[in-house]
């Protein structure tokens, strides 16, 4: 059910998908759907939590695949984005989409989206600390990644990730040079 909901919400939007359409896509009865998820908000929350776990797992794996060089691991974030942007059904960040659609009216969605984004920023802070750069670099690189997600969704151009990686390299080099001068 969650996979069907995630696919429908991502493709059509959260508000556009009703419980009956979700029931049909998942191949379950409406009674079963409501037994597991008493409200649409409950299933949206579960979908976003599932998506967060998928994101964390895939991103961590991409960084680990970069090897032991901390700088390469940090830049692997942008390689991960490039791969994601090339997926045929890429429609941007599900969390940004959810917040844009529901964040003003659904406090649970707002909370989950904020926690997801804070988690990403925290992970970037860990990676930045691993290269010995100032903590402010983590926020800069996080904003760069977030902007790349939105721009790639709007432009349908996966090369945005390559451009973001180039900008990340400039930011990393400048931060490291400044750190060495101090």
Q: What is the mean pLDDT of each run of 10 residues along the chain (182 residues)?
A: 95 93 94 93 96 97 96 97 92 95 94 97 97 95 97 95 97 90 74
In a domain, 123, yes or no: yes
* Structural domain contains residue 63: yes
> What SS3 class is residue 130?
helix
* 106 assigned to some structural domain: yes
The pLDDT, as a whole number, for residue 180 is 80
Closest CA to 20 of 173, 4, 129, 10: 4
> Is position 151 within any domain?
yes
The CATH number of residue 140's host domain is: 1.10.357.10
| Cα–Cα distance, 25 to 19 (Å, whole number) | 10
pLDDT at 181: 79
**Domain extent for 93:** 54-181
Distance of CA 4 to CAs 25, 67, 71, Å? 6, 35, 37
- pLDDT for 107 equals 95
Domain count, the chain: 1
In 73-138, which ranges are E strands? none
Is residue 129 assigned to a domain?
Answer: yes
């Amino acid at each position: 059910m969650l996979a069907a909901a995630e696919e429908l919400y991502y493709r059509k939007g959260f508000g556009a998908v009703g419980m009956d359409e979700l029931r049909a896509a998942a191949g379950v009865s409406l009674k079963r759907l409501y037994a597991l998820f008493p409200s649409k908000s409950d299933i949206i929350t579960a979908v976003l939590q599932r998506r967060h776990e998928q994101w964390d797992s895939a991103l961590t794996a991409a960084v680990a695949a970069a090897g032991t060089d901390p700088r390469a691991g940090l830049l692997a974030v942008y390689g991960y984005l490039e791969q994601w942007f090339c997926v045929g059904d890429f429609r941007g960040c599900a969390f940004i989409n959810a917040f844009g659609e529901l964040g003003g009216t659904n406090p649970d969605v707002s909370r989950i989206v904020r926690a997801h984004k804070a988690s990403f920023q925290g992970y970037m802070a860990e990676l930045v600390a691993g290269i010995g750069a100032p903590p402010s670099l983590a926020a800069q690189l996080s904003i760069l990644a977030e902007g790349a997600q939105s721009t790639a969704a709007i432009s349908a151009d996966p090369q945005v990730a390559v451009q973001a990686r180039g900008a990340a390299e400039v930011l990393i080099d400048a931060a490291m040079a400044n750190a060495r001068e101090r």
